[in-house]
Structure 1
Amino acid sequence: MPRSRYKSLVDTFAADIRSGRLPPGTRLPTHRQLATTEGLALVTASRVYAELEAMGLVSGETGRGTFVRETSLPPSLGVHQPSVVEGMRDLNFNYPALPGQADLLRMALRQLALSGDLEAHLRYQPHAGRLHERASVARHLLTRGLTVAAEHVVIVSGAQHGLAVTMMALLQPGDVIAADALTYPGFKVLAEALHLEVVPIPVTDTGPDLAALAKLCRSRPVRAVYSMPTLHNPLGWVMAADQREQLVAIARQHDVLIIEDAAYAFLAEAPPPPLAEWAPERTVYVSGLSKSIATGLRVGFVAAPLAMVPALERTIRATTWNTPGIMTAIATAWLDDGTVTLLEAQKRADAKARQAVVDEVLAGMHYVRHPASYFVWLPLSEEARADQIAVALLQEQVSVSTAEPFATSVHVPHAIRLALGSVDMDSLRQALIKVKQVVGAYF
């Protein structure tokens, strides 16, 4: 087929979609039907749809066909950035805060101003953080079930920076990294930027399909596995001890690095020990204080095998040089005096209260969550389309995330994720009522 004719067909489809002549949700002809109707080779018909998909105009769904996407959906929806539209109830992004936290900050700044070491905070810090501050983090990690020496800890500018430092330092472009078929979007963004190949692990109701992971490790040169064993985002599971043991066994058998993301682990009460406790020789544990304290406190930490620490330090130097001394001083003081422990307990209670509102308002609907988490996963019926529901909710001044930012597999389920931690209780209730009404209209 001449290129001009091929491009013309792509342009015709694109114009029809953008003009509304082919409305969102329209099922397009199969590849074979398109080839027959237009007199094309099957491979050329597939190219037409592939280009339309790359343009963001259609989505191919395994076993269902090719559908016109909702192009009015804002590109930021589901990419974890807060809405700035006045009056919008934000169930897309989590930035939980508690009353009185600003007063805690005022007190901390006063105490810091009176300290004798104030001038030291204006100078460069060691790349991994000062040793006494790393020791504060190590003591904190004991409360998470992780026994680690201060020398194994490096301080970073938030958990996202910790993930970036870990992946930049320990992986190479082209490396294969396994991750859950639904996972944290910030990990996906990093993997793409670092040119890593992400291969999906099918998920079950209680965790990743570990038999599938073992099979994957036998068939592909998997270099690392990215895991959220304690309060998974977005599915909320907490992996059982035997599952953790099995994952570690697979990693050891195939010499796989484990990257453990524990950003939301503080919300789970009495979980099994972290993967880093089961396999300290090959696990890098990443967490921070953005969710447990405040998103503006960009202090995180990485605990790693001692042999990996120099590479992590070099990458910190290449990215931020060091975490700001003033921020780290405030954070570690709060770790030492129990403020972090207190705020984490309060946020667990707050998350449970918000989940109680979910149970009340969404009664009768199927949803997936942890009872002390700040998010809910809402699978949709086969007839419903997540992009259309997201747009309909935007028109009702409710912002949610579709499944697309979380999916590492070709097949993207029709589901929405509801973040519960960024609005007050009354706004949350009203937003959930709108969710139930809009989703219910598609059943």
Structure 2
Amino acid sequence: MTRSRYKYLVDRLAAAIRSGSLGPGTRLPTHRQLAAANGLALATASRVYAELAAMGLVSGETGRGTFVRETALPPGQGIDQPPLESGMLDLNFNYPSLPGQTDLLRQALRQLALSGDLQTLLRYQPHGGRLHERASVARHLATRGIDASAEQVLMVNGAQHGLAVALMALLKPGDVIAADALTYSGFKVLAQSLHLEVLPIPVTAHGPDLDAFERLCRGRPVRAVYCMPTLHNPLGWVMGTEQRAHLVSIARQYDLTIIEDAAYAFLIEKAPLPMVSLAPERTVYVSGLSKSVATGLRVGFVVAPIQHISALERAIRATVWNVPGVMTAIATAWLDDGTVSLLESQKREDAQARQHLADEVLSGLPYLRHPSSYFIWLPLSEDVRADQVAMMLMSEQVSVSTAEPFAITAHIPHAIRLALGSVDMIALREALLKVRRVVEALG
């Protein structure tokens, strides 16, 4: 059996186990049966099971055979929650924090306590936020080249909620939306939950393949496109001006809604104009303060054409009714007094320092990243399997994500994403050294 056929068999069995087609406790064929059924040498069949065992997918029991293991990862090893195990070095999630942010919150709470507005904050708020708060966001976005009125801005409960509101308001089950073949995992989960059909746009190291995207639009009734033009997660690209203009041209030709995710855009200085500025009549812009300020500050915002505002407000009402008044008051005060801009500047410097450290430790490995981002995409060599890398790093007390949560194609590349923003610099160096050792040991 050629190496590619051997890898295909491992991939096929791994996919069947992950999908539940082969459930926990299923007895697999013996090594001899597997070899005979697939035309393998016995040693090769044994190697297939050995790789599945190394991924944590199967276990061999002496005298009984090979069985499918429970594949649910321990707490903190999936995409849905941060690591909880003591001592785990988290390269899975980004929740960047800077010294002094706790004091900023303490001061903000004191100032809020002295204000005369507390009684109002205890009541229900307008679904899209109070108009003066929406105006604060509009002024902040104007510094990014976004010309939007307060009436076009809606307050939401974080950027993830903003994405949910946009998809719920503008699309219906069965609608077709295009997205990069590797894309933000939170979008993927939302699209599945809302029963949208997601068509993958092939990706390159510098952006989506827009010629392939146009062919998709010619062949299928695409309603919308989800994109991250300014600091793509997980690949780290920033689309150039010509690429953005090309995407807008396609969207206008086929009458598509553009959903622009700008959660990490604050990390890029002097970025090209956002899509919402190039095509304001069809773009819904989503961002928030979770990364630029703190993940616990669940305040986000959506900018949309006036004709979509009522539908978006209904989706906010159906999901959270309104953003908590206390959180919004703190967030907009920080927008107005320059605190958010200061934190964004400091986090740009922090991300650059972390990327510089990663360059030192990972030099020679074929990773993709933007020098101002908080993450790295590390493709693995042909013989190295992402699940195996993740399992070995878990045993070394390092949590990483494989490509699976980000992939919307049947074929999932063997790669890992490293989030750099959740541990201190000393711990980050230690974790990256472990990543390098494991990848090189398996390669």
TM-score if structure 2 supplies the norm length?
A: 0.86
Aligned partner of 1:16 in structure 2 is 28
Task: Report the alpha carbon displacement of residue 217 of structure 1 after superposing the two structures with TM.
Answer: 0.3
Q: Determine the structure 2 residue equivalent to 1:173.
A: 173
What's the CA shift for 1:399? 0.5
Tell me, yes or no, if the aligned pair for 1:166 and 1:312 is still in contact at 8 Å. yes
1:133–1:400 Cα change, 3 Å: same
Q: Which amino acid aligns with 2:175?
A: D
Match of 1:197 in 2: 197
CA displacement at 1:83 relative to structure 2:
0.1
Q: Secondary structure at the match of 1:237?
A: coil
Contact 1:292/1:347 (8 A) holds in 2: yes
For 1:92, the equivalent position in structure 2 comes to 92
Secondary structure of 1:178's aligned partner:
strand
* Partners of 1:126 and 1:322 within 8 A in 2: yes
Q: 1:102 is aligned with what amino acid? A: T
1:142-185 CA distances to partner (integer Å, 9 max, x unpaired)?
A: 12221111100000000000000000011000000100000000
Give the match for residue 260 of structure 2: 260
Residue 210 in structure 1 maps to residue 223 in structure 2: no
SS at match of 2:97: coil
What is aligned with 2:434? 434
Q: Is the alpha carbon distance of 1:307 and 1:264 closer, same or farther for their aligned partners in structure 2, counting shifts above 3 Å?
A: same
Instruction: Please state how far the C-alpha of 1:280 moved relative to its aligned partner.
Output: 0.3
Shift in Å, 1:75: 8.0
Task: Tell me what 1:409 maps to.
Answer: 409
- CA separation of 1:382/1:35 partners in 2, compared to 1, >3 Å: closer, same or farther? closer
Aligned residues: 398
Q: Which deviations, in whole Å up to 9, do the C-alpha atoms of 1:172-227 show, x marking residues without a partner?
A: 00000100000000001100110001110000111000000000000000011000
Aligned partner of 1:297 in structure 2 is 297
State the TM-score, normalized to the length of structure 1: 0.86
Mark the runs of 5 or more structure 1 residues left unpaired by the alignment: 1-8, 23-27, 38-51, 59-67
Relative to 1, partners in 2 of residues 1:164 and 1:262: Cα closer, same or farther, differing over 3 Å?
same
Structure 2 residue aligned with 1:25:
none
Deviations 1:259-318 (A, max 9, x none): 000000000111101000000000000000000000000000000000000000011111
Q: Which amino acid aligns with 2:297?
A: L
Do the aligned residues in 2 keep the contact of 1:91 with 1:399 (CA within 8 Å)? yes
Q: CA 1:10–1:292 in structure 2 vs 1: closer, same or farther (change >3 Å)?
A: closer
Q: Is the contact made by 2:389 and 2:439 (CA closer than 8 Å) also made in structure 1?
A: yes
Specify the SS of the correspondent of 2:183.
coil
Per the alignment, residue 330 of structure 2 pairs with 330
CA 10–336 in structure 1, closer or farther in 2 if over 3 Å, else same: closer
Distance 1:74 1:282 in 2: 42
- Segment of structure 1 superposing worse, 135-144 or 76-85: 76-85
CA apart distance, 1:16: 3.1
Decide whether the 8 Å contact of 1:72 with 1:391 is kept in 2: no
1:341-356 equivalences in 2 (<5 Å) = 341-356=341-356
CA deviations 1:40-78 (Å, max 9, x no partner) are xxxxxxxxxxxx9xxx969xxxxxxxxx99947548634
Question: 1:117 Cα deviation (Å)?
Answer: 1.4
* Aligned-partner SS, 1:297: coil
User: What SS is found at the alignment partner of 1:140?
Assistant: helix
- Change beyond 3 A, Cα 1:12–1:277: closer
Partner residue in 1 for 2:394: 394
- Structure 2 CA distance for aligned equivalents of residues 235 and 425 of structure 1: 22
1:332-380 residue CA offsets vs partner (Å, 9 max, x unmatched): 0000000000000000000000001100111111100000100000000
Report SS of the residue matched to 1:441: helix
Q: Secondary structure at the match of 1:364?
A: coil
Q: Distance in 2 between matches of 1:85 and 1:357?
A: 25
Paired residues for 1:96-111 under 5 Å: 96-111=96-111
**1:8-407 correspondence runs (5 A):** 14-16=26-28, 34=37, 71=71, 73-74=73-74, 77-407=77-407
In the alignment, is the contact (CA less than 8 A) between 2:183 and 2:233 conserved in 1?
yes
- Read off the aligned partner of 1:304 and give its amino acid letter: A
Which segment drifts farther, 272-281 or 137-146?
A: 137-146
1:70–1:388 Cα contact (<8 Å) kept: no
Residues of 1 paired with 2:99 and 2:409: CA distance?
40
Quote the offset at 1:126 in angstroms.
Answer: 0.6
The amino acid that maps onto 1:87 is: G
Task: State the 1:14 CA deviation.
Answer: 3.4
- The 8 Å contact of residues 178 and 198 in structure 1, kept in 2 or not, is answered as yes
Paired with 1:36 and 1:364, the residues of 2 have a C-alpha distance of 38
Partner SS, residue 16 of structure 1: coil
Q: RMSD of the TM alignment (CA)?
A: 2.3
Secondary structure of 1:347's counterpart equals helix
CA distance in 2, matches of 1:12, 1:182: 28
Whole-Å separation in 1 of the counterparts to 2:331 and 2:339: 9
Distance 2:294 2:80 in 1: 15
Asked whether the equivalents of residues 231 and 370 of structure 2 are also in contact (C-alpha less than 8 Å), the reply is: yes
CA distance in 2, matches of 1:12, 1:129: 47
AA matched with 2:107? M
Residue 10 of structure 1 and its aligned partner are, at CA, apart by 6.3
SS at match of 1:229: coil
- Contact between 1:182 and 1:407, CA under 8 Å: does it hold in 2? yes
Report the Cα distance in structure 2 between the residues aligned to 1:395 and 1:10, rounded to whole angstroms. Answer: 25
Does the 8 Å contact 1:290/1:297 carry over to 2? yes
Match in the other structure for 2:44: none
Relative to 1, partners in 2 of residues 1:110 and 1:382: Cα closer, same or farther, differing over 3 Å?
same
